[in-house]
Structures are given as structure tokens and as C-alpha cells.
Structure 1
């Protein structure tokens, strides 16, 4: 169920009446702007728990940073890629649902603390299982963004202690916009020779049933992450953000040369063709990188710098900030 409000004041009134699961908020609105409205939501005890996503034409870095600093969980700029936006919203709603479940379980366990039956191994196992669901991506089985800050903190502390580098990589597999899907090698050769646009190359997929597209995308992600898991070292981390975006945390880096060699291996392993439903799929990733302590800023800025570098990178090119 969707509700629409043409101003911030009307939106706040509606939110108090209906308690929505999510708010999509524009910045440019009559009367009070989106930033002022977001601040009102976060200062209201009844509404501050509701996640807010900014959807706006303001794409400047300072605008995005200001919106996120106010408490928004995401910032989507226009023109909007509907498929990416849908995936981000779906993932956010799923996380919020799981958080509510964990809160209910914890309250239940706390209230039953004096009863022996709630201390059984089975109950404790279920509680641990639900918390794992909140922290790990169910599709790829890697940590999700809820553990991102914790892992980056650990990587920085380790780098400081041993005088090493840690590398934060923002990886974008781009949800088929830069993926060729063909049924045989001849098709791949023709797509390369004719320099067919990437959007045209996936036209047949876009025309297919949405469930088929999602299934192919899921299989593609699982295969790529499995390959990366065998390529990276035990001290490194793969974290899924949203949709087809991931963070790679590379630890114990001695030099920029070592970092570059590892990233080239990452790009190579991602580009190996994957066969799904009789289709040969080649993925062209974008990768943005920042290195600590060369980029000696706080954690949020480190993550943001890697994302900015990714946005400036062309497919198959490593952009190091």
C-alpha cells in the first residue's frame, strides 16, 4: 500500500496516522524541504524509527552527505534505475522485518528469563540463527552492510597496529546493464565485433519474465562471490551492500603494487564467463578503491571515497582515490 504527500507537513501527519514501513522523500518540496522534513522525523519519538530514503535530482556529494548525516538510510539520485531502486527498497524492507523479529525474540527471552524452558539449547540456537540472518546476506552467505562498519574498524585497527595498509574496494556488478548474455560463442563474438550496446545485448532478458531475470541475477551473484571467496585470502572480507554492490576489504597489504595485483586478479576472476540456463554470461565490473592510511579520514568518508572512485571508474578499470 502506497500513500502520497505533496508536502513535508502532510507527510508527517500521514506517518503518525499509519506508521509506514518506509518513507521515500524528495528534497525539493514546497514549504519545508526534504532535509527539514527528515530532521523533523528523526526528532519525533513516534517516527524516528521509520527508515527514510532520499529520492532527488540533487546529486552533489555534499547534498548526499548532508542527507545521510540527518539519518537517512540511503540516497538515490535521479534519473532513477527502477530495477536498482526496487532491489534497494526490497532489501531494506527485508532487513527492517528481520530486525523487528530479533527485537521480539529478545523481548520474549528477557521476559522469560526466570523460566528454565527458555534456556534450552534449541531456544538459544534459534536466537543466534535469527541474529545471523540480520547480519548475513541469505543469498550469497557473506556479511551484509550491518557488519560493514565493524569490519572496517577492525581492519583499520589491525593496519595501525602492524604498520600495514588496508584497502576498501567498492565493487559494482551493475545489474545487467553492463553484462552480455548470449547463447553461444558466436553470439559473443558478434556482440564484440559489432560493438553492440550493453543495453541492447540484454534486451531479450529484459523482455522475459521478471522472475527469470531475478533468478539469473541471483545465480550470477552466487557464482561470482564463490569465485571471489576462493581468490581472496582468509584475512579479507566480502560484504554485500545492496543489489549488485559489494565491499571488498583487503587486509595485511604491504604495498600499492601488492594491492593492484590483487585487484587485477579480482577483475580477472569476475570476467570468466558463467553459463546459466544455456547462456554464456560475461560480467564487466566497476571497481573503486581507497587505501588506509594513505586516505587518512574517518570510516564513513573512507567508504564514501571508495564509492566515489567506483562511480568515476569505467568498466574493467580500477579507480584508486
Structure 2
């Protein structure tokens, strides 16, 4: 198979063609034509890699022949070198305005001709490879649905592909827009984080990576994974151009939220479960130590809950637990935690109780008393009127020398003390511990 680059030489002077043939035959596959129309026919049948075109020819001159080549879709990007004895500026400008790659001045300097041909072929090959690579990347991006962005700092404009617009439900008028438009689309809660990560990337050489929400044209927000990096900088190191892409990760975020909810929340009551309670208790200890405050933990057990299940069925028991959870939420502040450990066992954790110890336990006792009164109110479980009461154990905790197990055990012991005292009451563990 012939791997030599194919060159089409068009010249009406046989001597010139002979000279070219002798000079180029060893390195290139040379085809010759004696006129512009003949060259066009040959090029259509077998597109060359490069065209050497004489400027001064009878009938159709080199300028018109060049225009004809550029009008052919299959030949429009084929590099053309003008071969001419003319060296005036006007002729060169005319040729360059038509898109010719270079000029070769007669008489030929063979080695210079070869060097220019090699250079032009190399540039052409690299250009074709780049175009193929860009087309491949564009195809992949479109196939995966990723939105591409290209931020030119010189004019503060961001350019996009169609997928970027589709992700956000925008029309094609948003293929180019000011960078401030992007910032305005970011969810207010995410904006500071995006600006921080983006600023770090612009200041250094790292990769920009952020997961945040962008406002869809319909008004809701779409979660995206946004990635990019600076690809051009000025002579002084300032960022000049940044490119990247976004992918819609809304479904992934929804699945993550579902998994998180199953891992940290009780399915029946939607309250935090034991795992989340332990994490919040650990965090509360750290805050207590930092702020020199106290927290309180209450264990609650619904009296004779098993009797309700045995007499009226588990569905009624579930209805009672759901109502208890709702009432407990209404007894505490937003910063406090109500959790369900399982069965009919609930935990209330109060935070930010100011000292001294007597004041902190006094405030916790007030909340405990409020819970007793609230859970003593009559219940209606479907068509069943029902009365139920809690037994509550209360303990205070700080942030020093107090283990999680120790806190939970004290509250549990106090709760069983309340049951032993006749139920429907509150008992406290030693507040000095």
C-alpha cells in the first residue's frame, strides 16, 4: 500500500511540471494537471493531501481555480500552495484572502519547496486529528448527556453545547451568556461553596470540582456534578480560559438521600434512629465542652404498650407511636432531637442548657414535665379512644469525662426507676455526673 502523501500539481508549463516531478517523486505521490478544470476533475476523483497551484494560467487562473476548490465540500480544507513568479504584495494578499496555505516563488529552490510541503502537510494532519478528536469528544459528550462549558475571561462570556442548555431546560439563546448568568443560576445555599472552590482553581493549577444545584427554567433545581480546569493563562499567570462540563446527578442525589434516610431515620415515625442519635450526642458533647454548657437526655417508655398491641393489634400500636412522635416534636425546640430507639422507646435530647448545674437540670425538668402532660392527653386511634402514659428517665450530661454509653445507661436506669415508682412519672439520674 502506498503511504506517500498525494500531491496534485497544476501548472500549464510542462517544464515546471517536469522539474516538480523530478524533485518530489521520491518522497511524494505526485499527480499532474495542466489546467485548473483538469485539476478539479482529478481532485474530485482522488482527493489529494495537498495542491500545488500555478497562479498565472490561461483561461482559468490560479485565483479562480482556488475559489472552485474551496467551493467543493470534499476539497475545501485541502491545503493549497500557490506557485508563482509574482512576488508583489497585492498578489500575496489576494491569495491569502482566498485561504491558501503558503506561496512558493519561481524559480524553485527544491529543498525549500520540500520543507514547506512537509510543514504544511504536518499542520494539515494535526488539524485533521484535532478536528476528529473534537468531533469524537463532542459525540461522547452528547451521547452521555454532559453539558460542556468554555469560559473566556477576556470577554467574561461562557459558551456551551446544546446538552448544557437541555439539562437546565434553556433554549439555544443561552449557548453563550455572561458568566454572571451562571452564578445567578446557582442555589443560594450552594453559591458560597462554588465560589470558594472556583476561586481556588483560578488561583492555582488544581481541578475545579463541585456538586451543587442549578435553577431549571421551570423553577426547580437540578443537582449537577461540575468539573473543569484552567487551560490558558496570560504571560503574568492570570487565568485566561477555563473549560469543563456538567452532568445531571439529580437521580443519584435522590438515591443517596433515600439511603441516608433509611440509615438514619425510623421508617414508622420518621424520627432519627439510634445511629443518628449517637452522632448528634457526640456532637453535642463537643459543643458543651467548647461553650461550657450542658445537655439533657430523656428516655421515654410508653406504659403498658404491649397490652395495646395484644388487645387491639399492631396497627393500633403503630398509630399510637406515630402520634407520640408528633407530640414529642411539639414539646422541644428545633435544635433539640427526638429519636426512636425501637418498640415504644423514645429519646429526647436537649442542647444548649446554660449552667450552673441546678439551672440546667431545672430547665430540663420543665421540658420533662411538659412532655408528661402532653403525652397524658387522650388519644384517638382511628375509631378507638385510648389513654396512655409515659415513664421518663432524665440525666444531665456535659462534654468532659462522660462516655456515650454512660449517658445512655444513666437515662435508662432513671427510666426504670420511674416505672418502679408507679409509671407516668419522671425520675432523674444524679445530675452531678
TM-score by length of 1: 0.51
User: How many Å apart are 1:148 and its aligned residue?
Assistant: 1.9
Task: Report matched runs for 1:151-230 at 5 Å.
Answer: 151-174=280-303, 176-177=305-306, 206-207=310-311, 213-230=313-330
- Shift of the alpha carbon at 1:137? 0.7
Give the match for residue 268 of structure 1: 373
Looking at secondary structure, tell me which structure has more helix per residue.
1
Task: Report if aligned partners of 1:174, 1:245 keep a CA contact under 8 Å in 2.
Answer: no
CA distance in 2, matches of 1:305, 1:119: 48
Q: Which residue of 1 aligns with 2:262?
A: 133
SS of equivalent to 2:342: coil
Match runs of 1:21-170 below 5 Å: 120-170=249-299
**Residues 207, 262 of structure 1: CA spacing in aligned structure 2 closer, same or farther, 3 A cutoff?**
closer
For the 8 Å contact 2:319–2:381, the answer to whether it is kept is: yes
How big is each residue's C-alpha offset from its partner over 1:61-85, in whole Å with a ceiling of 9 and x where there is no partner?
Answer: xxxxxxxxxxxxxxxxxxxxxxxxx
> How many Å separate the matches in 1 of 2:299 and 2:425?
12
| C-alpha distance after superposition, 1:75-115 (max 9, x if no partner) | xxxxxxxxxxxxxxxxxxxxxxxxxxxxxxxxxxxxxxxxx
**1:171 Cα offset (Å):** 0.8
Return the match for 1:298 from 371, 396, 403. 403
Structure 1: distance between partners of 2:343 and 2:400: 27
TM-score (normalizing by structure 2): 0.38
Match of 1:249 among 336, 344, 349: 349
SS of structure 2 residue aligned to 1:290: strand
Q: Which one scores higher on RCO, CA 8 angstroms, separation ≥ 6? A: 1
- In the alignment, structure 2 segments of 5+ residues that lack a partner are 1-244
Give unmatched runs, 5+ long, in structure 1. Answer: 1-115, 178-198
2:387 corresponds in structure 1 to: 282
Alpha-carbon distance in 2 for matches of 1:173, 1:118: 49
Shift of 1:261: 0.8
Q: Which residue of 1 aligns with 2:66?
A: none
2:395 counterpart SS class: strand
- Count the aligned residue pairs: 177
**Alignment CA distance shift 1:121-1:290 (3 Å):** same
1:310 aligns with 2:415: yes
Does the 8 A contact of 1:175 with 1:243 survive in 2? no
CA apart distance, 1:296? 4.8
* CA deviation after TM superposition for structure 1 residue 297, in Å: 2.4
After TM superposition, the runs of 4+ consecutive aligned structure 1 residues lying more than 6 A away are 116-119
Q: Larger radius of gyration, structure 1 or 2?
A: 2
- Residue 267 of structure 2 aligns to a residue whose secondary structure is coil
Higher strand share: 2
Secondary structure in 1 aligned to 2:269? coil
Q: Distance in 2 between matches of 1:161 and 1:310?
A: 29
| Change in 2 beyond 3 A, CA 1:120/1:312 | same
Closer, same or farther: CA 152–122 of 1 in aligned 2, 3 Å = same
